[in-house]
Amino acid sequence: MKQVDRLPEKHIFICVNNREQGSCCLKVNGIDTFQKIKSYILSHGLAGRVWVTKTGCQGFCNPVGTTISVYPEKKIFTEVKPEEVDKILEEVLSK
């Protein structure tokens, strides 16, 4: 076993879960939201300091938008639409 001591300052988890019936983040543009967040992090030179990871269901499924959680802040955003990504990132990355 090897322990890593170089950790990111923040880790953003974006749900892209898919399910055939009922609400899920894949049906409400979860992939677009993930891509937009990834592009933002890369274009702002934050790769390595901020990690971005796709996840399965985070337990807040809805028919409106994607669920995103941010650590270490333990903030969870639900019903996120791709066009709202910049606003969320400006908020969580300013602290």
- Per CB under 6 A, residues contacting ligand FES are 15, 17, 24-25, 57-61, 67
Strands of 23-92, DSSP E: 50-55, 66-71, 75-80
Q: How far is the CB of 57 from ligand FES (least distance, A)?
A: 3
Pairing label, strands 66-71, 10-15: antiparallel
Q: How far is the CB of 49 from ligand FES (least distance, A)?
A: 25
> Which residue matches tokens 């090897």?
2
Closest to ligand FES by CB, 10 or 29: 29
What is the radius of gyration, based on Cα positions, of the chain? 13
Closest to ligand FES by CB, 29 or 67: 67
Q: How far is the CB of 62 from ligand FES (least distance, A)?
A: 8
> Is 93 in contact with 50 (CB distance < 8 Å)?
yes
Closest to ligand FES by CB, 48 or 59: 59
